[in-house]
Amino acid sequence: MTLRHFAPIVLLVASNVFMTFAWYGHLRFADRALWIVVLASWGIAFFEYWLAVPANRIGHRVYSAAELKVMQEVITLAVFAGFSALYLREPLTVNHAIGFALIVAGAFFVFKGPIG
C-alpha cells in the first residue's frame, strides 16, 4: 500500500473523529442551550472539513468515489463504536454489531468489483 492509498484513510479517520464529536459530543451536555451546542458543533465540523475534503481529493486519485464513500462509512462506524462506548458510556449491543457487520459486508462488494 502506497502513501497515495494510505493518506486518505488516515485523513478520513481523523475527520471522522472530529465529525463524531461535532454530531454527538454535545449529548453529554444536555443542560447547555441548544444554540451553544449548535455553534460548538459547527466549529468542530469546520475543522473536520479541512480533513475530509483533502482526503477525498487525494483518495480519488486511487479510489473510485463509491469506494471512498464506503470506506468513509466503515470508518464512521468504527469511530462511532469507540466513541459510544468510551465517551458516551453506552455499550454496543449484539444487534448493533450485527447491523455494523452487514454494512461492512456491503463494503466488501463495493471493493470486490463486478460479479461474474
- Pick out the chain residues at pLDDT < 50: none
| Residues 17 and 53: beta-carbon distance below 8 Å | no
93-106 per-position pLDDT tens digit: 999 999 989 988 88
Residue 115's pLDDT is: 80
The C-alpha torsion from 48 through 13 and 83 to 43, rounded to 10°, is: -10
Q: Which domain covers residue 45, as residue numbers?
A: 3-112
Residue 39's pLDDT is: 97
Q: How far apart are CA 36 and CA 30, in angstroms?
A: 11
The C-alpha cell 473536520 sits at 48
Residue 109's pLDDT is: 83
Number of domains in the chain: 1
Tell if the pTM clears 0.75, that is, is over it.
yes
Q: Is the dihedral of CA 95, 99, 100, 105 positive or negative?
A: positive
